[in-house]
Structure 1
């Protein structure tokens, strides 16, 4: 009402530009390359993306159905490795390479949970010698995991620098280290390479 016509035109042009930028798919690890849209612009785009029927119950039902379908696709993608429906943190060639790199090797960290259960059981036995053994085992497991993780981090960083020198690799090493903490059969997305196979 009180704004000048030129400022309204600038806002409209900015909205068009932002919506055009949002329509293009981008690599989740790449820098954004555009300013963050204002809250009003982002909300209007969200409202425009979901067409309302005018009935709140029907809109809620449609939203639940849409969410259910998206989650089902995501679950299938986590099992099959289909890049199109993976969560943003797992998408891209860099993350796929990291997963294959980790899954092709044995790491001490993936045995952490079973070993922790065994050590916990041993520590409950009311004999001083067995409790001392459990404590030494605990320290040994932690030391082995730290050494193995440091070695893996160096090898993974070197492999990423060689293969993806021109692509953003931020957080890729931490992503790989977190994957080693999961037992191989429980990892999501599911491993796509066998042990010993080159990624």
Structure 2
């Protein structure tokens, strides 16, 4: 009758009458109100402490995935700053070459150690050497970016070479190769294709 819910026997009898067809849904379409009720969730969780714990766990897992991607180079989980084929090409190009900027930190450590020496001539020579290395690193970074930009335009087109890529490439040249993140995936001298 109308409004009477079907019992288990009725449902089994009905299922026996209709054979299952391959590729068909083989079940009645659910009612809209039932689907909407199943999707409803409160805007603010009632148990805020549990929600905070769940959120913290999800954030921690995402950070671990991102950290692992920085080591392995997994493109799917890299941060937005490092995603994309253009930035991958930039990283590979910078990592494949020797950069003067890589030597800035070791030179600065030597300068710091020699700054304690109270001999004016040594201090003058060290100061001049620091400025020469800094100037050489700036020139090397500028020339590297010009060559890299030409390759990027040839490979990806002028539309893909946007703002911020020069700073991305140059800042990577000033980092020690071992401390770069994402980790270098190419050996020195192995130019990207």
TM range, normalised to the smaller chain? Answer: 0.7 to 0.9
TM-score, scaled relative to structure 1? 0.72
Query: Does 1:104 pair with 2:96?
Result: yes
Query: Does 1:194 pair with 2:190?
Result: no
Q: Secondary structure at the match of 1:196?
A: coil
When structure 1 is superposed on structure 2, of 85-94 and 49-58 the one drifting more is: 49-58
Which residue of 1 is the match for residue 167 of structure 2? 174
TM-score, scaled relative to structure 2? 0.75
Distance 2:104 2:188 in 1: 18
Distance 2:127 2:191 in 1: 37
Query: Does 1:56 pair with 2:48?
Result: yes
Distance 2:98 2:88 in 1: 17
* Number of aligned residue pairs: 152
Deviations 1:46-92 (A, max 9, x none): xx999864210011000100000000000000000000000001000
Q: How far apart are residue 143 of structure 1 and its match? A: 1.2
Query: Which of 153, 168, 184 is matched with 2:177 structurally?
Result: 184
Given that 1:119 and 1:137 are in contact with CA atoms closer than 8 Å, whether structure 2 keeps it comes out as no
Query: Which of 117, 124, 132 is matched with 2:116 structurally?
Result: 124
Which protein is bigger by CA-based radius of gyration? 2
Unaligned 5+ residue runs, structure 1? 1-47
Which residue of 2 is the match for residue 113 of structure 1? 105
RMSD: 1.9
Given that 2:153 and 2:160 are in contact with CA atoms closer than 8 Å, whether structure 1 keeps it comes out as no
Which portions of structure 1, spanning 4 or more consecutive aligned residues, are displaced by more than 6 angstroms? 48-51
Q: Secondary structure at the match of 1:124?
A: coil
Unaligned 5+ residue runs, structure 2? 1-39
